[in-house]
Structure 1
Amino acid sequence: MKSYTIQEINEILKGEISGNITHKITAPEQLELATTTEISFIGNKKYEKFWEASNACAAIVNEDISIQPGENRVFIKVKNADLAMSQVLELFAPPTPVFTTNIHVTAVIDATAKIGNGTRIGAGCYVGPNVKIGENTTIYPNVTILDECTIGNNTIIWSGTVIRERCHIGNDCIFHPNSTIGADGFGFRPDPERGLVKIPQIGNVVIGNGVEIGANSCVDRGKFSSTVLGDGCKIDNLVQIGHNSKLGKFCIMAGNSGLAGSVTLGNGVIIGGSASIKDHTIIGDGAIVGAGSGVTGDIPAGKVMLGYPAVEARDALKQWAILKRLVRDSSK
């Protein structure tokens, strides 16, 4: 089991130690569950009140904390406790699943596929014709990568992921279990003789560097050209990204949110959980769409939107306050 002294942890964090303990720390844990050998963190002043009741022997805290650690307890003061805690979690992270050989004997790899040095491919995987995979990429068991895809260096693809033909993926990406990249976009048109006619989707998906796609999320291929996710985008579980949507750099989409076809997100856009975005909508750089909101029109850069249909946050809050008063008054 891994364990570290508070000094060893602080060598990585480069914070300021306040207080003292002599024993080693065995694990990180949240405040209310931590034991006397575990470290926790306080990332916001509103959580300071929980420190006294916690059994944690140590905590990573922001520099402006207003309480003391107490006897036989210790704080590491840093500029950003949340970011520092991520470094501690890396310290204690258990090893990833073991590969006994780089290419498992049950993996089916087409003779025309090119696999970079140090890339590992697990049991039951399929790699199709003319696929190119970079160096030091890890493909866990039962992944499917179809014809003419390209995948960069240092990417991790977890079990059950399907990457359809002609999709292109950058370096340092992570695809969590059962994500689907490049499935057909949802395109149908009514025909009086044939009912609903399927519109062929002949495009692909292009994903930049450092992108993370959550479990069971889907990125549909374009009807004509490409569905695009820019560098650094982070997509939660159970997210739908429709055909021909374009995401700028460092966008975030929380769980159960969805983009219809041909949506454009600028750089740094945040889409809250269960929010839905109408097709052909443009959302400007740095805009935020609150959880559960329904966006039916374009949003300028930097705006915060709430509600269904979504309006500017301050207007939504006013509307909710008025409705609350109406309900209260009608019950008198």
Structure 2
Amino acid sequence: MKLFSVLEINTLLKGYIVGSTSHSVSSPEQIELAGNHQITFIGHKKYEKLWERSKASVAVVNNDISIQPGNNRAFIKVNDADLAMCQLLELFAPLHPQFDTDIHPTASVHPTAIVGKGTRIGAGTYIGPHVELGENVTIYPNATILDHSTVGKNSTVWSGVVIRENCHIGRNTILHPNSTIGADGFGFRPCPERGLAKIPQIGNVVIGDWVEIGAGACVDRGKFSSTIVGDGCKIDNLVQIGHNSVLGKFCIMAGNSGLAGSVTLGDGVMIGGSASIKDHTTIGSGAIIGAGSGVAGNVPAGKTYLGYPAAEARTTLKQWATIKKLAGNS
């Protein structure tokens, strides 16, 4: 276990130090649980009161934090404590599972597959015909990548991931365990002969660069053309993205949220946990959909929508306040 001084950590974070401490830092921890050899953070003034009871010797804090660190304790002041903690967590992060060989003997790699320099393929993995893996791709054990799919350089595919045929994953992208890329879209129509006729889903999925897809998430292939997840999108665990949906750049979808088919998200859209978006709906760039909301129509750019059915936040909050008053008078 490596120990760091306050000066060494500040060199990384490029902040400025208030106070001093003789303690070295062994790891980060939340403020209530930290010991005197740990570093914590205060990202908002409302958490200042927790510092007095904390045993941490060092805290990364926003510049507007007004309290003093105290005896044998130090603050590292920065513009954004949350972003600084991202850097700090990288410093202390343990190594990912290691590979003894670049391609494990039990991996099945088709002779027509192209494997880039420095790419590692774990035990029990299947790489199908004409798959292309870029340089420095990491594929952990028991992943499946089917025919004619591609994975861009520096991407990571964790165990249990399935990438169906003809799907394309960008560079520096992370697919977390048991996510599924390119399953059939949910397309059925009533049919007198069979009850429900399955509509063939002959499109694919295209995922951009610097994307993360959470564990157990599903991105369905297009009925025709592509389901698209734009550069920089972050998709939480257990999220459903329906066929032919198109996400712009840097969208965020929290856990258990879902897009029906042919939904369009602009750039920078944020969707809260368990929210659901109706098919053929457009959410404008920069819009925010509150957790648990049900969106049945288009949302203008930059607006915040809440509720079920969702409406502009101010409208929904007024409705909730009115209902609360009525309930109090009944």
Same fold (TM over 0.5): yes
Inter-partner Cα distance in structure 1 for 2:6 and 2:106: 46
Inter-partner Cα distance in structure 2 for 1:87 and 1:2: 16
Percent of aligned pairs sharing the same letter: 71
**Aligned partner of 2:282: which letter?**
I
- What corresponds to 2:313 in structure 1? 313
- What corresponds to 1:244 in structure 2? 244
- What corresponds to 1:15 in structure 2? 15
Q: Does 1:329 align with 2:300?
A: no
- What corresponds to 1:116 in structure 2? 116
Query: What's the CA shift string for 1:272-300, capped at 9, x where partnerless?
Result: 00000000000100000000000000011
Inter-partner Cα distance in structure 2 for 1:164 and 1:61: 45
Superposition deviation, residue 23 in structure 1 = 2.4
**Aligned partner of 1:110: which letter?**
H
- What corresponds to 1:277 in structure 2? 277
Superposition deviation, residue 24 in structure 1 = 1.1
Kept after mapping to 1: 8 A contact 2:288/2:303 = yes
Query: What's the CA shift string for 1:51-99, capped at 9, x where partnerless?
Result: 0001111100001111000001000000000000011101111111010
Inter-partner Cα distance in structure 2 for 1:86 and 1:227: 31
| Structure 1 runs, 4 residues or longer, greater than 2 Å off | none
Inter-partner Cα distance in structure 1 for 2:49 and 2:137: 45
Kept after mapping to 1: 8 A contact 2:23/2:36 = no
SS in 2 for 1:64: coil
Kept after mapping to 1: 8 A contact 2:281/2:297 = yes
Unaligned runs of 5+ in 2: none
Inter-partner Cα distance in structure 2 for 1:257 and 1:277: 8
Inter-partner Cα distance in structure 2 for 1:52 and 1:23: 17
TM-score by length of 2: 1.00
TM-score by length of 1: 0.99
Inter-partner Cα distance in structure 1 for 2:286 and 2:202: 31
Inter-partner Cα distance in structure 1 for 2:83 and 2:308: 33
- What corresponds to 1:127 in structure 2? 127
**Aligned partner of 2:146: which letter?**
L
**Aligned partner of 2:132: which letter?**
K
Report how many residues are paired: 330
- What corresponds to 2:178 in structure 1? 178
SS in 1 for 2:323: helix
- The Cα RMSD (Å) is 0.5
Inter-partner Cα distance in structure 2 for 1:8 and 1:148: 47
Superposition deviation, residue 115 in structure 1 = 0.3
Query: What's the CA shift string for 1:131-184, capped at 9, x where partnerless?
Result: 000000100000000000011000011100000000011100001000000000
Kept after mapping to 1: 8 A contact 2:103/2:122 = yes
